[in-house]
Structure 1
């Protein structure tokens, strides 16, 4: 178990170092070699955790999905319209703080989704769909849209 903890810690170190370097030098100016040397690891060790530099951004995207789950739970006792507003407000705050990195992350997520390598967009859609379905069951919203396929339209229809 100790070895698994060390692996998790090293992955986090690589991730946070990469993000720091991306912010400082710009994503395109940071190489895997630069990340590895800044972490004090071999280039091959980087590839044990991330197949490509782009996967650091995908990892950021998946961590944002984890954050979305936390925020969703945080407001579970709030009325649906207010809950969705709070969720988007918190996500917007994170976006504004890290807009350059999150733009890159979104771009890479979309590019990867087209290659069917990422589930970040699907996870976001599933979370929002679940919220809307819950609201429909509880009769706290009334919408003609099928939330499974049109969760964003349903959100817009709430307001």
Structure 2
């Protein structure tokens, strides 16, 4: 693919790719980095792009995958902490500690889920996205999102209850 064709086909997708990445990662600088990385990868494989039925679909898939990789490497951000923060003014310190342990345990359990389930449960339960928005962003059917969300919640619940029950009996 020549430079002019590349600009017309790939570079024209910049806003769409940026929007997709930004919806997932919620950090403009990181989203820009992802889009630039996608452009570099596409440029490096420009001679093979004609073999793809839809360069746009390839670019969107690459953007989603690279964004999800970037999210996976991130540590929990302040926004997630704020959403899970427990008010301390009116709480019993022992109860507060127990709740903080529960939040940390649930966070660890979510991190053990498959990537797609991790992303979906975070987008729905932490960030508040609607199922249709999640389906659009992840490129899956709404029923698949609903099913993955249900499985993710069930796994987290089962593992949390197993840990909680085990700890309860061990402390007796």
TM-score (norm 2): 0.29
Q: Which has the larger radius of gyration?
A: 2
